[in-house]
C-alpha cells in the first residue's frame, strides 16, 4: 500500500477536466488498496468514499457570488494571503503559486506520512520545496501556454494587455516543470507541446491517457433519442473551446433543419456567448445547462442524436470520450490531441470552420444509419482504450519510479 498525497489548487468537477481527473483517479487508487489524501483549495472537490479531503483554503477571491472581491481585513491570516490579493489587484492569477506555498507549509507538518506526492497541474514554486521532502510526480494535461496563445489571439486592445498579465503564472510553470520527473501527460500531442513550450525532456514524461466513468457514461437504449438534438460540453466563453464556431454552424443548419443545441456550460450573463446567441437569433434553438449530476449528464448525452467537440485545441478532451462512451455519434475538431483520441471513431472537421461543421451535422441529421455506425464505433473505441482502472494502475507505476529516484538522489 502506498500513502499518496494528491495536490490540486481548485478541484470541483465543474471547474474543468482537472477536477474530474482528481475525483476518478483518487477513487481508483483507493480501490487498488492505497491510502489517498487530497489537498485542495476552493472550490473543493467531490470525492468518493475512502478518499480523505484536506482543505487548504485560499481567500477564494474568484467565488461565484462576488468574483475579484477584496477581502475584509480580518480575513488576512499571513503573508501568502497578502501576496494572493496583491497579485489579483495587479491583474494576475495567484492561485497556482499561493496554493503550492500553502501546501508546502502543510506537508512540512506531515513528513513521514506520505510515500509520494502528485501535483495536478499546479506547477507552482512551492513544489520545489515539497520535492525536498517527498518524491513528487507532476501532471500536465496540456501546457497552459496554449490557452494563453489562443486567448491572446482573440483579445484586442486593453483586453490583450490584461490577458497577458493574467497568464503571467505560465512563466513560473515553465520553470518548475523541467525540474519534476516523472511528469504524467495524457496524449502524444500534449507531450510534444510540453516539450516545446516548457522544455521538459521527453524522456521525463510518461503517457497515460484519461479514462471515462462508465457508471454514468453509457448508452441508454431504453431512452428515446430527442429528434434533432445536438449536445456539447464546453466552457462557453473560452475561445479555445470553439463554442462560437458551433453556434454559427447551428445557425446555418437551423435555416433548413429542425435542430436544437444544448451546451453544458454557464456562460457569463451578457458575455460574448450570450451576445452571439442574440446576434444569430438562436434564443429558441440553444439552451445552456449547468450544475447537473454525472448521471443527468450521461443521460443528456446518450439521448442526443449528435454530439460535438468544436475546440480549437485539446490536450485530451474528456467530453470526447464521454460522448463516445454513451454511443452518441461525435463530430470533433481535427486539432491537438483530438485525432489521436477519437481515431476513426468520430467525424473530424477543421477547427474553426463553421461551414464544414454545419455540413457534417446536416449529413448526420439526415442519416440515422450513419449516426448508428459512428456511435457504435465510438463506443467500441472507448471500451477498448479508456478506463480509470488502467489509469490508476499506470499512475502507481510512475509513483514507484519517483520513489526509487528520490531514494538515490
Indicate the range of 24-28, 115-119, 159-163, 365-369 predicted with least confidence. Answer: 159-163
Residues 6+ apart with CB under 8 A from 15: 43
Task: Retrieve residue 7's grid coordinates.
Answer: 495536490
In a domain, 338, yes or no: yes
Task: Retrieve residue 86's grid coordinates.
Answer: 496583491
Does the pLDDT of residue 382 top 80, yes or no? yes
pLDDT band at 155 (very low <50, low <70, confident <90, very high): confident
pLDDT of residue 17: 78
Domain CATH for 83:
3.40.50.2000
In a domain, 221, yes or no: no
| Same domain membership, residue 107 and residue 252 | no
pLDDT of residue 157: 84
Nearest to 12 by CA among 64, 77, 88: 64
**What is residue 47's DSSP assignment?**
-
Mean pLDDT of the 167-193 span: 97
Task: Retrieve residue 300's grid coordinates.
Answer: 443528456
More reliable by pLDDT, 11 or 166: 166
| Same domain membership, residue 126 and residue 44 | yes
What b/e sequence results for 344-371 when a residue is b if at least 16 CB atoms lie within 10 Å of its CB, and e otherwise? ebbbbbebbbbebbbebbbebbeeeeeb
| Same domain membership, residue 273 and residue 243 | yes
Indicate the average pLDDT of the chain: 96
On whether the CB atoms of residues 237 and 268 are closer than 8 A, the answer is: yes
| Same domain membership, residue 237 and residue 189 | no
Greatest pairwise CA separation for the chain in angstroms: 67
Does the pLDDT of residue 196 top 90, yes or no? yes
Integer angstrom CA distances of residue 126 from 99, 140, 203, 302: 8, 16, 24, 42
On whether the CB atoms of residues 333 and 312 are closer than 8 A, the answer is: yes
What b/e sequence results for 35-49 when a residue is b if at least 16 CB atoms lie within 10 Å of its CB, and e otherwise? bbbbbbbbbbbbbee
Residues 6+ apart with CB under 8 A from 303: 220, 223, 224, 225, 226, 229
Residue 225 has φ and ψ, to the nearest 5°, of: -70, 145
Q: Which helix (H) or strand (E) holds 253?
A: helix 243-254
In a domain, 156, yes or no: yes
Task: Retrieve residue 82's grid coordinates.
Answer: 497578502
Pairing status of strand 35-40 against strand 52-55: parallel
* Integer Cα distance of 62 and 59 in angstroms: 9
Rg of the Cα atoms in the chain: 21
| Same domain membership, residue 234 and residue 193 | no
Does the pLDDT of residue 15 top 70, yes or no? no
pLDDT band at 109 (very low <50, low <70, confident <90, very high): very high
pLDDT band at 354 (very low <50, low <70, confident <90, very high): very high
On whether the CB atoms of residues 100 and 7 are closer than 8 A, the answer is: yes
pLDDT band at 16 (very low <50, low <70, confident <90, very high): low
What b/e sequence results for 149-170 when a residue is b if at least 16 CB atoms lie within 10 Å of its CB, and e otherwise? ebbbeeeeeeeeeebeeebbbb
On whether the CB atoms of residues 277 and 250 are closer than 8 A, the answer is: no
Sign for the CA dihedral angle at 253, 255, 261, 267 comes to: positive
| Same domain membership, residue 243 and residue 125 | no
pLDDT of residue 64: 86
Report the number of distinct structural domains present in the chain: 2
pLDDT band at 297 (very low <50, low <70, confident <90, very high): very high
Q: Which residue has the cell 444544448?
A: 262
| Same domain membership, residue 300 and residue 256 | yes
Task: Retrieve residue 251's grid coordinates.
Answer: 445557425
Residues 6+ apart with CB under 8 A from 364: 305, 306, 329, 331, 347, 370, 371, 374
Indicate the range of 85-89, 154-158, 367-371 predicted with least confidence. Answer: 154-158
| Same domain membership, residue 182 and residue 62 | yes
Q: Which residue has the cell 490583450?
A: 160
Nearest to 328 by CA among 290, 298, 295, 286: 298
Task: Retrieve residue 142's grid coordinates.
Answer: 496540456
| Same domain membership, residue 365 and residue 273 | yes
User: Following DSSP, what letter does each residue of 163-205 receive, concatenated?
Assistant: HHHHTTHHHHHHHHGGG-SSEEES-HHHHHHHHHHH---GGGE
Q: How does pLDDT run across 22-34, given as a tens digit for each residue?
A: 999 999 999 999 9
In a domain, 216, yes or no: no
Mean pLDDT of the 160-189 span: 96
In a domain, 247, yes or no: yes
| Same domain membership, residue 392 and residue 334 | no
Please list the residues that pair with 331 across neighbouring strands: 308, 347
pLDDT band at 156 (very low <50, low <70, confident <90, very high): confident
* Integer Cα distance of 282 and 229 in angstroms: 14
| Same domain membership, residue 204 and residue 253 | no
In a domain, 162, yes or no: yes
pLDDT of residue 265: 96
In a domain, 217, yes or no: no
More reliable by pLDDT, 64 or 138: 138
pLDDT of residue 14: 63
pLDDT band at 11 (very low <50, low <70, confident <90, very high): confident
Mean pLDDT of the 250-262 span: 98
Q: How does pLDDT run across 38-94, given as a tens digit for each residue?
A: 999 999 999 999 999 999 999 999 998 899 999 999 999 999 999 999 999 999 999
Alpha carbon dihedral 296, 302, 306, 312, in 10-degree steps, equals 60
Q: Which residue has the cell 489517498?
A: 36
In a domain, 220, yes or no: no
| Same domain membership, residue 314 and residue 378 | yes
Q: Provide the domain limits for residue 303.
A: 226-385
Mean pLDDT of the 254-275 span: 96
Amino acid at each position: 500500500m502506498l500513502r499518496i498525497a494528491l495536490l490540486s489548487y481548485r478541484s470541483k468537477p465543474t471547474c474543468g477536466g482537472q477536477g474530474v481527473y482528481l475525483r476518478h483517479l483518487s477513487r481508483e487508487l483507493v480501490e487498488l488498496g492505497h491510502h489517498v489524501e487530497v489537498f485542495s483549495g476552493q472550490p473543493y472537490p467531490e470525492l468518493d468514499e475512502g478518499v480523505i479531503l484536506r482543505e487548504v483554503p485560499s481567500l477564494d477571491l474568484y467565488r461565484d457570488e462576488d468574483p475579484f472581491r477584496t477581502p475584509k481585513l480580518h480575513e488576512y491570516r499571513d503573508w501568502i494571503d497578502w501576496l494572493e490579493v496583491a497579485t489579483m489587484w495587479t491583474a494576475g492569477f495567484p492561485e497556482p503559486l499561493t496554493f503550492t506555498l500553502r501546501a508546502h507549509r502543510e506537508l512540512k507538518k506531515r513528513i513521514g506520512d506520505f510515500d509520494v506526492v502528485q501535483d495536478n497541474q499546479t506547477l507552482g514554486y512551492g513544489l520545489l520545496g515539497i520535492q525536498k521532502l517527498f518524491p513528487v510526480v507532476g501532471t500536465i494535461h496540456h501546457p497552459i501556454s496554449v490557452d494563453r496563445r489562443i486567448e491572446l489571439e482573440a483579445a484586442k486592445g486593453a483586453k490583450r494587455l490584461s490577458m497577458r498579465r493574467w497568464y503571467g503564472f505560465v512563466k513560473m510553470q515553465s520553470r518548475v516543470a523541467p525540474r519534476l520527473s516523472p511528469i504524467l501527460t495524457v496524449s502524444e500531442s500534449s507531450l510534444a507541446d510540453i516539450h516545446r513550450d516548457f522544455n521538459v525532456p521527453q524522456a521525463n514524461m510518461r503517457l497515460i491517457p484519461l479514462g471515462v466513468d462508465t457508471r454514468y457514461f453509457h448508452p441508454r437504449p431504453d431512452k428515446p433519442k430527442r429528434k434533432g438534438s445536438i449536445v456539447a460540453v464546453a466552457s462557453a466563453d473560452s475561445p479555445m473551446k470553439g463554442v462560437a464556431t458551433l453556434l454559427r454552424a447551428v445557425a446555418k443548419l437551423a435555416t433548413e433543419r429542425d435542430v436544437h443545441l444544448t451546451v453544458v456550460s454557464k456562460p457569463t450573463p451578457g458575455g460574448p456567448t450570450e451576445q452571439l446567441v442574440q446576434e444569430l437569433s438562436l434564443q429558441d434553438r440553444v439552451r445552456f445547462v449547468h450544475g447537473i449530476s454525472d448521471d443527468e449528464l450521461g443521460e443528456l448525452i446518450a439521448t442526443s442524436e449528435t454530439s460535438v467537440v468544436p475546440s480549437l485545441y485539446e490536450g485530451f478532451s474528456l467530453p470526447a470520450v464521454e460522448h463516445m462512451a454513451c454511443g452518441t455519434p461525435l463530430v470533433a475538431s481535427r486539432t491537438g490531441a483530438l485525432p489521436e483520441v477519437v481515431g476513426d471513431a468520430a467525424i473530424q472537421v477543421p477547427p474553426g470552420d463553421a461551414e464544414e461543421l454545419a455540413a457534417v451535422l446536416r449529413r448526420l441529421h439526415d442519416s440515422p444509419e450513419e449516426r448508428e455506425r459512428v456511435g457504435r464505433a465510438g463506443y467500441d473505441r472507448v471500451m477498448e482504450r479508456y478506463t480509470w482502472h488502467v489509469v490508476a494502475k499506470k499512475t502507481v507505476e510512475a509513483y514507484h519510479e519517483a520513489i526509487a529516484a528520490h531514494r538515490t538522489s
